[in-house]
Amino acid sequence: MAALLRSIPLACLTAWLTLASPAHAQDGDTGLLRVVTSNPGAEVFVDNASVGTAPLTTYLSPGDHTVRIAAPQFDPFVRRVTITAGRTVELKADLIPGGSTVEFIVEPGGATLTMNGRDTHPTPVRLRDVVAGSHTWTLEAKGHESKSGSFSFERGSNLLIVEQLESSAGRLSFRSRPEGADVFLNGQLVGATPLDLNGIDPGVHQVLLDLPGHATVVRTLDTNDGSKGEVDVKLPDSGASLVVKAPSSAAVVRLNGVKIGQGRKVRIPKLERGRYSLQVSLPDGSSREERIEIEDRGGSRFKAVSSGEAMRIKPFTPLTRSWYFWAGTAAVAGGAATGGLIAYNATIPDPVPEGEILVDLP
């Protein structure tokens, strides 16, 4: 079976351009275009806009214009003409039998056309021998919003599709499954998913999605190249809690650059598994950043300790999860029953440390 579509260059057909004597124009700022064709009733387009049927005479502004003449069962005729103020240009075209074409003219130039989900072509393009029936199309260009559509086609006809793709610059899109997650952009609540924003300055943007019952998701968007920023995620059901203790009530805690809280204790009940950059900043300008890893379940605790000019962030184990807490408790219980000592030893969460034991009190 022959291929549904094939692209060919725009045909160059016979035409005569004649500069006549000065036209009786409406004023000295326009010129005249007179179109004559061997197919009376053919539709005439000037700069991709229909202006009537041939034969036709119309006023045009001086400069270059694209003239397209199309009739069923004939190939479209396309020419560039130059209009001069106060003059008449006569364009005569003999159409060649053919037809069954679809022509796409798209801004920006060089956009990619996908027909029926499989055949791709650079634009502008004229597709020949298009079969009768329904067809779908999608247009895409870097830095622009894609656009899709459909059309019904009759054998022998000629269809012109003119589209202009909108720039993606300044656009942000947020999608989540399930929907309804709060969207924090650069620390500010801007709405809930699904959410589309326009007019956002290019740059690096920090995004946090939060929905009760699901793990919090943190993402970074870089739109410095003028592209559209998109976040589309499935929110995990499970996650690990994160607790950060700081030495000041004015301490600011950030995760991957996203502010997650301020104060002596900042907590995210459920955080998506992954590696993060944890930063703690103090009012005096001092700050410390560490790479941390969050597991799928359980909890992670970190403590920021400010000592002198330096600040450090270290894992923090609560007293009730430490070996020395359980060892002490077990010693008390062991005096009552040997079985009690064995039971307590089985619940010790951390291996027995060697050497000196350092205790961090909460």
Domain ranges for the chain? 1-167, 172-186+193-230, 240-316, 317-362
> How confident is the model over 176-213, as pLDDT tens digits?
999 999 999 998 899 999 999 999 999 999 999 999 99
The mean pLDDT value of the chain amounts to: 82
Greater confidence, 255 or 347? 255
Beta strand 229-234 with 172-177: parallel, antiparallel or unpaired? Answer: parallel
Q: What is the pLDDT of residue 317?
A: 59
Q: Which residue has the tokens 């809690």?
A: 241
Q: What is the pLDDT of residue 318?
A: 53
**What is the spatial order of strands in the sheet that 88-93 belongs to?**
15-19, 88-93, 31-37, 56-60
CB-based contact 158:101 (threshold 8 Å): yes
Angle between helices 323-334 and 338-346 (to 10 degrees): 170
Q: What is the pLDDT of residue 323?
A: 45
What's the topology of domain 240-316? Immunoglobulin-like (2.60.40)
Q: What is the pLDDT of residue 257?
A: 87
Q: Which two tokens stand for residue 230?
A: 């998109």
| Distance between CA atoms of residues 247 and 310, nearest Å | 12
Please list, in sequence order, all residues whose beta carbon lies within 8 angstroms of the beta carbon of residue 262, skipping any fewer than 6 positions away. Answer: 249, 250, 251, 252, 253
Q: Which two tokens stand for residue 139?
A: 């247009």
Dihedral in degrees, nearest 10, Cα atoms 7, 8, 9, 13: -140
Q: Is the backbone of residue 63 left (phi > 0), alpha (psi -120 to 50) or beta?
A: left
Residue 85 has pLDDT above 80, yes or no: yes
CB-based contact 34:16 (threshold 8 Å): no
- Note whether 1-167 and 240-316 share their fold: yes
The superfamily (CATH) of domain 1-167 is: Carboxypeptidase-like, regulatory domain (2.60.40.1120)
Q: Which two tokens stand for residue 207?
A: 């995004």
| Distance between CA atoms of residues 246 and 361, nearest Å | 13
Residue 1 has pLDDT above 60, yes or no: no
> How confident is the model over 296-324, as pLDDT tens digits?
777 888 888 876 567 888 887 554 444 44
Give the chain's length. 362
SS (H, E, C) the chain: CCCCCEEECCCCCCEEEEECCCCCCCCCCCEEEEEEECCCCCEEEECCEEEEECCEEEEECCEEEEEEEECCCECCEEEEEEECCCCEEEEEECCCECCCEEEEEEECCCCEEEECCCEEEECCEEEECCCCEEEEEEEECCCECCEEEEEEECCCCEEEEEEECCECCCCEEEEEECCCCEEEECCEEEEECCEEECCCCCCEEEEEEECCCCCEEEEEEECCCCCCEEEEEECCCCCEEEEEECCCCCCEEEECCEEEEECCEEEEEEECCEEEEEEEECCCCCEEEEEEEECCCCEEEEEEEEECCEEEEEECCCHHHCHHHHHHHHHHHHCCCHHHHHHHHHCCCCCCCCCCCCCCCC
pTM of the entire structure? 0.60
